[in-house]
């Protein structure tokens, strides 16, 4: 058992005393992902990745932090965002608690983009005590796979790559009939500030909420991307914990 939500507190304590690390996944549970993906797409990805890590490493997985700093999406109904300051404080206090329980390391699995900076800032004072930031999109294998497979002119959200990953890990939650390239202008450049679903004259107009071309996604691409991402993340974890991948 690796999911602390299904364990008793004394069993959690015993595992930590025996040397298990703590893993905190971060993935939005209420953030728009276009017309073809569910609001909890990030949470699904975070929990899928956390399960892969737990299969290969000595970690205990804490419940996903499903609210965070997502300011680009607040104009889309239901999309929740905390201020950067609030989110940073939440992350720091949670990780302080995990380390305080005796975890030999606290691994923060970060599936976001706008979350990267506040998570990094939250962990700075805790790095010497065993806090580590796992950035799932930064690994060399994943970056190489994106370059090799990508066909879209631009993208970063509910796009070709994210949709492909979801087709591979949770196809039942993807409605490709509603996927659309957005914004339609292939020369689009994202501007600072939130995206806009209703005003075609807004600098970040996206009717669907996608930023990229999800229509180019396939399950086959997703399987390659996920394999690369998992290998990268497992290597990050192994290096952090001083283990061999799969140990």
First CA to last CA across the chain, in angstroms? 17
Q: Where are the domains of the chain?
A: 4-241
246, pLDDT greater than 70: no
Percent of the chain surpassing pLDDT 90: 88
CA dihedral 203, 217, 233, 56 (to 10 degrees): 150
pLDDT band of 204, cuts 50, 70, 90: confident
The fourth-level CATH superfamily of domain 4-241 is Creatininase (3.40.50.10310)
Reported as a single tens digit per residue, the pLDDT across 136-191 is: 999 999 999 999 999 998 899 999 999 999 999 999 999 999 999 987 665 666 67
Average pLDDT over residues 30-51: 98
Are the beta carbons of 54 and 23 closer than 8 angstroms?
A: yes
pLDDT band of 112, cuts 50, 70, 90: very high
Cβ neighbours, 10 Å, residue 68:
27
- Cα 56 → chain centroid: 19
Residue 90 to residues 21, 62, 115, 164: CA-CA distances in angstroms?
20, 14, 12, 31
How is residue 125 annotated by DSSP? G
Q: Mean pLDDT, the chain, as a whole number?
A: 94
Reported as a single tens digit per residue, the pLDDT across 46-100 is: 999 999 999 999 999 999 999 999 999 999 999 999 999 999 999 999 999 999 9
pLDDT band of 1, cuts 50, 70, 90: confident
Q: How deeply is 74 buried, as exposed, middle or buried, from its count of CB atoms within 10 A (0-12, 13-18, 19+)?
A: middle
Kindly write down the DSSP assignment for every residue of 15-38, as one continuous string.
Answer: HHHTTPEEEEEE--SS--BTTTB-
Comparing CA positions, the residue from 27, 134, 132 lying closest to residue 70 is 27
pTM, full prediction: 0.94
């Amino acid at each position: 058992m690796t999911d602390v939500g299904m364990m008793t507190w004394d069993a959690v304590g015993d595992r930590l005393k025996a040397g298990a690390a703590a893993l905190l996944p971060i993935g939005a549970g209420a953030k728009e992902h276009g017309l073809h993906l569910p609001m909890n797409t990030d949470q699904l990805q975070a929990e899928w990745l956390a399960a892969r890590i737990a299969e290969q490493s000595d970690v205990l997985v804490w419940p996903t932090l499903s609210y965070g700093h997502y300011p680009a999406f607040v104009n889309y109904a239901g999309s929740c965002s905390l201020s950067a300051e609030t989110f940073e404080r939440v992350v720091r206090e949670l990780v302080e608690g995990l380390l305080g329980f005796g975890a030999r390391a606290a691994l923060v699995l970060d599936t976001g983009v706008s979350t990267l900076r506040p998570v990094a800032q939250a962990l700075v004072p805790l790095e010497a005590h065993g806090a580590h930031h796992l950035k799932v999109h930064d690994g060399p294998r994943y970056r190489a796979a994106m370059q090799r497979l990508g066909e879209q002119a631009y993208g970063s959200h509910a796009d070709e790559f994210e949709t492909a990953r979801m087709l591979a890990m949770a196809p039942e939650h993807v409605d490709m009939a509603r996927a659309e390239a957005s914004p339609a202008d292939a020369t689009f450049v994202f501007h600072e500030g939130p995206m806009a679903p209703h005003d075609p004259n807004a600098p970040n107009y996206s009717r669907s909420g996608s930023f990229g071309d999800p229509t180019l996604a396939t399950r086959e691409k997703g399987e390659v991307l996920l394999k690369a991402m998992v290998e990268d993340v497992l290597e990050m974890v192994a290096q952090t914990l001083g283990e061999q991948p799969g140990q």
